[in-house]
Amino acid sequence: MRLFVAVRPPATVRAHLDRALDLVRGGPDLGDSRRSLRWAAPEDRHLTLAFYGEVSAGAGEELIAGVAAIAGQSAPLEVHLRGAGVFDRRVLWIGCGGHVSALAALSARCVELGEEVSGRADRRVRSRAHLTVARVTGRDRARLAGRSRRPDAEASSADDVATLAHALAVYEGPTWRVEDVVVFSSRPGEGRGGGPAYDEVATFALRDLPDPPPSARL
């Protein structure tokens, strides 16, 4: 199975973002952006803490148990969606504000867990929490990689993403209290529009349990 661990914003936060996206997607300067981009379904939007990839059933059980332990030793925190940017000219993301240092520390612990269990390093930068909202489609991604003879189409796709990011740079969503983390499985290509489908495997509450008194450790 293909696993990752994430924070899922509540429905009210996702709805607030969706209203902002509807406004910018309807802008006059975006041309054919609805076709050149694949938009993540609102219910699938999340802040990835660590990506574990394909793992065996045994390793999956160990990872799930490890995430449960990390959650039990981590305090709830408050964050909000804020700003926007672009990765690699093709991925539109929304950033985070609030207790971002605590969120980054939680992410680092989950990443370390994956490396310990699987022996593989997650090379993605997790210090900047973000939520992916759209990607350039496969056809236009090839154009961006230089495999197209139509530079006008290539520029159009990149410009659409950049224009959206600029329009969303001032976005700020409502604050919410992160009280749990979710382990998801991913099925590439089986979701809406050819994207991945996500299944919730387990949810663990953040508890920040205090250390037991000395007498309880004996």
* Class of residue 84 by CB neighbours under 10 A (exposed 0-12, middle 13-18, buried 19+): buried
CB burial class (10 A; 0-12, 13-18, 19+) of residue 93? Answer: buried
- Catalytic, 80? Answer no
Q: What are phi and psi of 216, to 5 degrees?
A: -80, -15
From 16, 46, 80, 99, the catalytic residue: 46
CATH code for the domain in which residue 197 is found: 3.90.1140.10
Structural domain that includes position 181: 2-217
> How far apart are alpha carbons 159 and 59 in whole angstroms?
42
pLDDT of residue 64: 97
How confident is the model over 117-142, as pLDDT tens digits? 988 877 776 667 899 999 887 554 44
Give the integer Cα–Cα distance in Å for 158 and 144. 7
Q: How many domains does the chain have?
A: 1
Quick: pLDDT tens for 137-165.
Answer: 755 444 444 544 444 555 566 778 889 99
> Residues of 1-14 as b/e, b for ≥16 C-beta within 10 angstroms?
bbbbbbbbbeeebb
For the chain, give the secondary structure using H, E and C: CEEEEEECCCHHHHHHHHHHHHHHHCCCCCCCHHHHEEECCHHHCCEEEEEEEECCHHHHHHHHHHHHHHHHCCCCEEEEEEEEEEECCCEEEEEEEECHHHHHHHHHHHHHHHHHHHCCCCCCCCCCCCEEEEEECHHHHHHHCCCCCCHHHHHHHHHHHHHHHHHCCCCECCCEEECEEEEEEEECCCCHHHCCEEEEEEEEECCCCCCCCHHHHC
Q: Is 208 left (phi over 0), alpha (psi -120 to 50) or beta?
A: left
**Encoded tokens for 81:** 């969606």
Average pLDDT of the chain to the nearest whole number = 84
Catalytic, 16? Answer no
Q: Which of 16, 80, 99, 130 is labelled catalytic?
A: 130
Residue 155: both structure tokens together: 């520029």
pLDDT in tens, the chain (218 residues): 899 999 999 999 999 999 999 998 875 555 544 557 888 889 999 999 999 999 999 999 999 999 999 999 999 999 999 999 998 888 999 999 999 999 999 999 999 999 999 888 777 766 678 999 998 875 544 444 454 444 455 556 677 888 999 999 999 999 999 999 999 999 877 767 667 889 999 999 998 666 555 554 43
What tokens were used for 106?
């939680």
199 bridge partner residues: 185
